[in-house]
């Protein structure tokens, strides 16, 4: 073939055509189409901007709708503990409201399976099914979140639907990743690194960060207080783990780093956004929920629900947030089910005593 006076073989034309096709496929499948919307979240000129794509936001809005509440029932005037045989948590709730809540729980957690997902139909009082035992503990966990963790969930709070969204197993749960099952060499298997893992958005960062930071309470700080080496012993390895967690948090909320940080100084609290303080409490809340509620349930779960190292399912930021900066875009379901906010006295876990670091005095950034 003769193009612009240059003789080109047919094979070369096909090769060029195929490369162009591959290039176009990569461009169209990995980039999002403009226009995008930019939202400034810090002071003017500091470049703290979130980028939203209208099509993604529309899809998120559609999949984050709250199911309509059931009609209210007239109270029976009888407490559940008197009306039923084996009520341990919702004792003081009116027995009719109790049934309305059972209906809602079924819609939120097991709509396909119905009451029998947790109940022996012959004997509703029986605790034979593990799902009922777990569900009772979940009621206490929800009470703990709504009653003791207002530093994070505010008055918006959570219901079973926040995490379950009509599934018995919430979409975003995690297990410990096996760390040293393979010999470690250049690929740093021992650090659980270099595996494309969705936990850290397919980056080469360590992929077992959740067990260190959201189940155990390992130190997240890595940046020293001054420009000179002054006793900060944190290594690059530790920084990688911190970054792994940060990538995970950003992905879970569908935001980038500047949603919480002014990236010129990641560690400085008074240049961070108020959301960083909410997130600080969120980390402590998730640790509390995993250690007080999910971990102790490990023995209750059947073997097929356990992870590769025999640990139980655990929750993370995305379990509630599902890729959105406020779960269900901040809509509260509690006004329709106030009992889920008022059973806090039955939560056995101690009230959280942690407070953010002393230097945490963030001022709200003005949007100008
Ligand atoms: C996701 C699990 C789950 C589902 C689904 C569920 N329940 Fe329950 N149910 C529970 C738990 C947990 C208790 C015990 C509550 C407590 O101890 O405070 C309970 C207790 C009861 C009791 C009291 C039984 C007794 O005598 O002690 C009744 C009645 C009941 N449920 C009815 C229903 C009905 C009707 C449905 C379906 C519309 C339903 N439940 C669906 C978890 C569930
Ligand atoms: C903060 C998130 C969260 C909330 C809120 C929550 N759950 Fe769960 N739930 C979980 C996680 C995580 C699991 C473990 C998943 C698994 O079973 O593998 C779980 C498991 C369960 C299971 C066991 C399902 C199975 O098949 O193994 C039941 C039943 C359940 N939850 C009921 C409830 C009920 C009822 C409520 C509301 C009172 C509730 N949950 C609220 C996170 C949550
Ligand atoms: C949702 C809020 C949020 C987002 C998004 C976020 N961070 Fe963080 N970041 C925090 C909080 C809270 C801490 C402090 C954690 C603690 O000490 O418990 C922190 C700590 C850090 C630290 C350690 C600072 C120090 O004092 O040593 C670094 C570095 C960091 N973040 C980097 C990032 C990067 C990079 C991103 C984006 C990939 C990011 N963060 C996204 C909330 C966030
Ligand atoms: C139990 C459910 C739950 C879990 C788990 C959870 N959050 Fe949240 N989070 C909420 C709710 C509910 C709100 C909304 C509170 C409000 O509007 O006042 C919220 C709000 C936030 C906000 C403030 C958003 C804004 O625009 O003001 C940040 C930041 C945040 N969460 C970060 C996190 C991080 C990081 C994690 C994991 C370490 C996490 N959350 C885990 C329920 C949860």
Give the residue-averaged pLDDT of 68-91. 94
Regarding the beta carbon of 238 and ligand 3, being less than 6 Å apart is answered no
Q: What is the pLDDT of residue 251?
A: 95
* pLDDT surpasses 50 at 346: no
**Per-residue b or e along 340-361, where b marks 16 or more CB atoms closer than 10 Å to that residue's CB:** bbebbebbebeebeeebeeeee
By percentage, how much of the chain surpasses pLDDT 90? Answer: 65
* pLDDT surpasses 80 at 229: no
Give the residue-averaged pLDDT of 139-155. 95
Residue owning the nearest CA to atom 6 of ligand 4: 317
Ligand nearest to the CA of 261: 3
Which region among 87-91, 224-228, 298-302, 315-319 has the lowest average model confidence (pLDDT)?
A: 224-228
Residue owning the nearest CA to atom 14 of ligand 2: 313
| In the chain, where the domains are located | 1-31, 35-63, 128-345
Q: What is the pLDDT of residue 182?
A: 55
pLDDT tens digits, 11-42:
888 999 999 999 999 888 888 778 888 889 88
Q: What is the pLDDT of residue 204?
A: 81
| Average pLDDT, rounded, for the chain | 87
pTM over 0.85: yes
Regarding the beta carbon of 257 and ligand 3, being less than 6 Å apart is answered yes
Regarding the beta carbon of 131 and ligand 1, being less than 6 Å apart is answered yes
Contact 165, 171 (CB under 8 A): yes
**Interatomic CA distance for residues 145 and 158, integer angstroms:** 7
Mutate which of 273, 327, 341 for ligand 4 pocket (most atoms within 8 A of beta carbon): 327
Regarding the beta carbon of 327 and ligand 2, being less than 6 Å apart is answered no
Which region among 252-261, 268-277, 358-367 has the lowest average model confidence (pLDDT)?
A: 358-367
Closest CA to 105 of 123, 74, 132: 132
Contact 133, 300 (CB under 8 A): yes
Q: Ligand 4 centroid to 207 CA: how many Å?
A: 22
Mutate which of 257, 265, 321, 352 for ligand 3 pocket (most atoms within 8 A of beta carbon): 257
CATH of domain 128-345: 1.10.468.10
Q: What is the pLDDT of residue 345?
A: 47
């Amino acid at each position: 073939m003769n193009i612009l006076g240059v003789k080109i073989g047919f094979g070369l034309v096909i090769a060029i055509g195929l490369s162009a096709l591959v290039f176009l496929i990569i461009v169209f499948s990995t980039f999002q189409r403009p226009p995008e919307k930019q939202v400034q979240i810090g002071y003017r000129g500091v470049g703290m901007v979130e980028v939203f794509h209208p099509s993604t936001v529309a899809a998120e809005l559609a999949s984050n709708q709250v199911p309509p509440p059931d009609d209210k029932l007239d109270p029976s005037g009888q407490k559940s503990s008197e009306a039923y045989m084996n009520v341990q948590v919702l004792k003081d709730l009116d027995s009719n409201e109790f049934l309305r809540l059972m209906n809602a729980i079924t819609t939120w957690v097991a709509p396909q399976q119905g009451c029998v997902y947790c109940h022996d139909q012959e004997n509703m009082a029986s605790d034979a099914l593990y799902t009922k035992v777990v569900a009772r503990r979940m009621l206490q966990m929800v009470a703990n979140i709504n009653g003791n963790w207002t530093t994070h969930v505010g008055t918006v709070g959570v219901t079973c639907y926040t995490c379950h969204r009509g599934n018995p197993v919430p979409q975003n749960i995690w297990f410990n990743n096996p760390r040293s099952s393979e010999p470690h060499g250049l690929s740093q298997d021992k650090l659980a690194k270099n595996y494309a893992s969705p936990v850290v958005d397919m980056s080469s960062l360590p992929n077992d960060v959740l067990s260190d930071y959201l189940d155990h309470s390992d130190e997240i700080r890595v940046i020293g207080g001054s420009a000179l080496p002054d006793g900060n012993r944190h290594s690059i390895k530790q920084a990688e783990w911190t970054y792994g967690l940060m990538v995970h948090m950003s992905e879970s909320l569908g935001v980038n780093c500047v949603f919480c940080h002014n990236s010129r100084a990641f560690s400085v609290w008074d240049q961070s956004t108020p959301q960083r303080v909410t997130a600080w409490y969120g980390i402590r809340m998730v640790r509390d929920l995993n250690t007080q509620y999910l971990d102790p349930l490990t023995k209750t779960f059947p073997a097929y629900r356990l992870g590769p190292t025999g640990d139980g399912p655990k929750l993370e930021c995305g379990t509630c947030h599902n890729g959105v900066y406020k779960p269900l875009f901040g809509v509260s379901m509690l006004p329709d089910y106030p009992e889920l906010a008022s059973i806090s006295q039955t939560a056995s876990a101690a009230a959280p005593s942690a407070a953010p670091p002393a230097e945490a005095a963030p001022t709200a950034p003005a949007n100008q």
